[in-house]
């Protein structure tokens, strides 16, 4: 099992945002993390990558927790954030070199991979440019290039399609498919449900800090037979049910 999240309780203050969240991502699997804004998706991701410390519960990557070995734990992860994070003082080439150093990658082999990625995302003539001056879409491509430069076991991708042109979206999906074939696991948070439906193997639907359900699309259709066949229809029906339940509880108070 690549990623195991068990009874995770956590958040940014003393009041937990996440309430006993449990799910997993298997080897060679793409799992969609789905939920409304504020549902707890980004908080979950921040705990997995080690930016937040759980109040309780465990997170394991290939059986290892962050407390076992921080460096080894983090080297198993490639993270593509929703908002690109680049260093103002570094050129694109220096971003790539820093990634190679952080993951202890072989330089010669890594540059072969980097050159392919740079060409794919039309960045090959910008090695001496500073990504801090790039458009959001171009900075996002820098993040994708750095992530797929690595040999990570687990890719965590947060809203990857925002700001990308259609060709770049297609290229990213191709890279995801390639890494899945090689056994890597991917956890992807996205609001683009039609794309998630076509590419994800399973879905973890989060609402108000809890996992509402975890299932394949076929199983979701069985669980919610009156909602419709698409992931979008099922999720909207589920969200409406949860909103109605919340309003009922509020009225009872």
The reply to whether 171 and 71 lie within a common domain is yes
Same-domain check for residues 66 and 137: no
How high is the pLDDT of residue 21? 96
Co-location of 24 and 123 in the same domain: no
Residue 31 sits in the same domain as residue 96:
no
pLDDT in tens for each of the 253 residues of the chain?
699 999 999 998 888 999 999 999 999 999 999 988 888 999 999 999 999 999 999 999 999 999 999 999 999 999 999 999 999 999 999 999 999 999 999 999 999 999 999 999 999 999 999 999 999 999 999 999 999 999 999 999 999 888 899 999 999 999 999 999 999 999 999 988 999 999 999 999 998 999 999 999 999 999 888 888 899 998 888 877 766 666 565 566 5
Return the pLDDT at 68.
Answer: 96
CA distances from 96 to 30, 186, 199, 247 (A): 25, 21, 28, 50
- Residue 107 covered by a domain: yes
Contact between 142 and 86 under an 8 Å Cβ cutoff? The reply is yes
- Shared domain check, 163 and 251: yes
User: Do 95 and 146 reside in the same domain of the chain?
Assistant: yes
pLDDT at residue 244, as a whole number = 62
**181 in a structural domain:** no
Any domain includes 169: yes
Are 18 and 72 contained in the same domain?
yes
Same-domain check for residues 161 and 237: yes
Does residue 220 sit in the same domain as residue 169? yes
Structural domain boundaries enclosing 122: 84-151
DSSP-derived 3-state class of residue 229: coil
Shared-domain flag, residues 109 and 223: no
Residue 36's pLDDT is 83
Residue 180 inside a domain? The answer is: no
In-domain check, residue 31: yes
d(CA 75, CA 78): 8
In this structure, what token pair is assigned to residue 101? 């150093």
Residues 88, 131 within the same domain? yes
Contacts of 178 (CB under 8 A, 6+ apart): none
Does 145 share its domain with 203? no
Q: Residue 168 is part of a domain; what is its CATH number?
A: 3.40.50.300
State how many domains the chain has. Answer: 2
Residue 125 pLDDT: 96
For residue 222, being part of any structural domain is answered with yes
């Amino acid at each position: 099992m690549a990623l195991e999240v068990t009874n995770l309780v956590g958040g940014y203050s003393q009041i937990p945002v996440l309430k006993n969240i449990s799910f997993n991502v298997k080897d060679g699997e793409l799992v969609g993390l789905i939920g409304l804004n504020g549902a707890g998706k980004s908080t979950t991701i921040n705990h997995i990558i080690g930016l937040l410390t759980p109040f309780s519960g465990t997170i394991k990557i290939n059986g290892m927790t962050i407390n076992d070995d921080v460096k080894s734990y983090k080297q198993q992860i490639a993270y593509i954030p929703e908002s690109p994070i680049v260093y103002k003082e570094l050129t694109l080439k220096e971003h790539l070199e820093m990634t190679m150093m952080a993951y202890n990658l072989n330089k010669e082999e890594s540059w072969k991979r980097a050159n392919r990625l740079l060409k794919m995302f039309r960045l090959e003539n910008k090695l001496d440019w500073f990504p801090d001056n790039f458009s959001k879409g171009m900075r996002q491509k820098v993040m994708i290039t750095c992530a797929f430069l690595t040999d990570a076991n687990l890719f965590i991708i947060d809203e990857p399609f925002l700001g990308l042109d259609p060709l770049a979206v297609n290229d990213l999906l191709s890279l995801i498919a390639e890494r899945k074939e090689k056994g890597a696991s991917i956890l992807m948070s996205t609001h683009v449900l039609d794309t998630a439906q076509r590419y994800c193997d399973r879905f973890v639907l989060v609402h108000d800090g809890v996992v509402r359900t975890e299932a394949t699309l076929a199983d979701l259709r069985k669980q919610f037979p009156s909602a419709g066949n698409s992931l979008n229809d099922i999720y909207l029906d589920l969200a409406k049910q949860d909103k109605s339940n919340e309003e009922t509880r509020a009225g009872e108070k």
